[in-house]
Chain A
Amino acid sequence: MYFKRLCLLFTFLTFGLYAGLTVSLFYFWDSKTFFATLTSERTFFSIKISFIAATVATLLSLGIAIPVGYALSRYEFKGKRLVDTLMEFPMVVSPAALGAILLIFFNNPLGTWIQSHLIEFVFTFYGILLAQFVTVLGVAVRFTKAAIDNISVRYELVAYSLGVKPWVTFYKIVLPLAFRGILAAGILSWAKAIGEFGATITLAGSMAMRTETLPIAIFMRLATADIEGSVALILILLSIAFSTLYTLRLIVRQRETF
């Protein structure tokens, strides 16, 4: 009983910490500023760009994380441990450093060639996308691998014995069974992407109406001592993030068919 109470105490303390920090924002609440910020074209652009970049970066990262997670979960190969460890790269390198690494890359001959012949990343929307993608890919791989690890490999072996090829087995057995885990990976990746700041500002800059995502917009307002404006943007970011996450959780719950 004592153990249960202790665990619940820490749970409510954690909740209280985040809820308290959120509530404290209202100390600088100003309705006029909030609605002005909410309806401004600049904010709308930031919301749009943040939402699109986070969603595309998440989908791209999941598209890669699924085969990578499957390979790390199911196959043995030389250097597997090294590859597995390197997946932690974006988690151990600070976001600003990650952005700096990307910026440095686009200043070497290969990066310069990519910039001039393929896509321009530095100080563009694609830079935001790339910074967020690189940041969340490791998270997506880690969680996708965990989701696939939880599915017994025997399901696949049985499917093979029924004459079903690996591609079809993956699509019909592994993906549906790992759906919730992969969706959780997507949710976490998206949450991380929408709040991404360090790598994005380093690679894509902070140009209003071009590369200014919501976290960058918050930083810019704060840098000009516009606390009420910062609070308004923070509350907008929190509302978008939590309503998206909550909706996704509802969808998952509805799909819980077994």
Chain B
Amino acid sequence: MIEVRNLYLKQGHFELKDINLIVEEGSFHALIGPTGCGKTTLLESILGLRKIDRGQILLKGEEVTKKPPYERGFAYVPQDLSLFPHLTAYENILFGVKYGLSAKKNPNYKDIEEIIKFLRIEEVLHKKVPFLSGGEKQRVALARALAPGYKYLLLDEPFTAIHPGIRKDLWGLLKDLQRKYNLTILMVSHDLEETFFLADYITLMIKGRVIQSERKEVIYNHPATLEVAQYFGIKNIFKGELLRKEEDSYKIWCPDLASELLIPLENFKGEPKREFYFFIRRENIMIVRPDLPYREENLIPAKVQRIDFLGEQYQIMAHSLKTKVPLEIALPGYAFTKLKLKEGDKILLSLRKEKLFTVLS
């Protein structure tokens, strides 16, 4: 387990303020946030590459705050990979093994061969770094980080420079690598798709502070603040006023949509407040087909404003007929074809109640 306790660091005008973070043993933890929020600075502080003003960094319960980076025992892959350009792929992989502290511990070359095989880089070992492709460089950097036998891997946006076509293959490979070697991974990322694909836990930082740190399912459904919800790209965020509790739901009034809506009890995290924000993701808004049976709840009459083709899906921009408040809807291609929508159409939207969630504060 990697633990950060009350970490504080000041650099010029920038501060990391009272950071507390726990990366569970064997978990994949993503550190996300807008540019300049301090996620890379935090990662480099954990690695010992930046001096912190106060706080503690612990690895497996042992404090490593005062240890130099070469004694901490974290494997590291930076954003630019920083493969040593004057060496071959194999020399890069063996660098930590030959010259690092692990060299004294009689390194297990059989394990290294296995990592090389697992990452499918046997064919490129003799190549010098400038002659490797983006994906090969990525895999060599991972092999180099793990070769000394470290189990705690810190990654700083490692897939940024990789072609989107092979990025997902590498995600899968990294996930398999983590399972096979029971790695504990902390990864800085700004890519939400990558984060949700890879991570078990997500920590969101904004302006040098940790805003929310939860399992990914929790943070997905229950963003702590409006800022968090907006960071996750949630567009349909509305004000709500609590009216009463019903059997398995709360009845609420939504002034933005001038409608009464139902939200399941379990989707209210914490004590319900009288006024709050709630949201529905764009892919969870249904367009009702009058010719088919539908639930008579959470229905909003709306008008189609604009239709955008996004490849796998269509984005429908509509506004509520009662209040003109905009709603964003994502429709799969097949659904869009069936509905035969065009701009200006009047439609009935169903905000599926099990998909309505409240923002925590």
Give A residues with C-beta under 8 Å from B: 152, 154-155, 157-166, 168, 172-173, 176-177, 257-258
Contact = CB atoms under 8 A, between A and B. Distances in A.
Nearest to A165: B70
Contacts of A173: 84
A164 B128 contact: no
Contacts of B70: 160-166
Interface in B107-151: 128-130, 144-145, 148
Interface stretch (B95-103, B239-247, B316-324, B330-338): B95-103
5 contacts: A154-B80, A157-B44, A159-B95, A161-B47, A161-B75
A258 B86 CA distance: 6
Interface residues of B, number: 33
Central interface residue in B82, B101, B102, B128, by most chain A CB within 10 Å: B82
- Chain A contact residues: over half helix, strand or loop, or mixed? helix
Contacts, number: 79
Interface in B71-108: 71-76, 78, 80, 82, 84-86, 95-96, 99-103
Given A157-B69, A258-B86, A162 B78 contact: no
Contacts of A161: 47, 49, 69-70, 72, 74-76, 145, 154
B68 interface: yes
B289 to A, nearest CB: 56
Contact of B78 (A157, A163, A168, A257): A157
Contacts of B95: 159, 162, 164, 172
The 7 closest A-B pairs by CB, nearest first: A162-B96, A163-B100, A161-B76, A163-B101, A160-B69, A154-B82, A160-B70
Q: Is the interface of B mostly helix, strand, loop or mixed?
A: mixed
Nearest to B73: A163
Contacts of B128: 257-258
A152 B80 contact: yes
Contacts of B129: 258
Contacts of A163: 70-71, 73, 96, 100-103, 148
Given A176-B86, A258-B86, A258-B130, A160 B78 contact: no
A157 B68 CA distance: 11
Nearest to A166: B70
Contact of B100 (A155, A164, A166, A257): A164
B132 to A, nearest CB: 12
B112 to A, nearest CB: 13
A161 B73 CA distance: 7
A166 B100 CA distance: 10
Contacts of A164: 70, 95-96, 99-101
Given A162-B95, A163-B102, A155 B76 contact: no
A54 B91 CA distance: 37
Contact of B85 (A165, A172, A258): A258
Contacts of B144: 162
Q: Which of B68, B71, B99 has the most CB of A within 10 A?
A: B99
Interface in B55-79: 68-76, 78
A74 to B, nearest CB: 12
Given A158-B82, A160-B48, 12 more contacts: A155-B82, A157-B47, A159-B84, A159-B96, A161-B74, A162-B96, A163-B96, A164-B99, A165-B101, A166-B70, A258-B85, A258-B129
A158 B71 CA distance: 13
A177 B68 contact: no
A78 to B, nearest CB: 16
Contacts of B86: 176-177, 257-258
Contacts of A158: 76, 78, 82
Nearest to B104: A163
A158 B44 CA distance: 11
B276 to A, nearest CB: 44
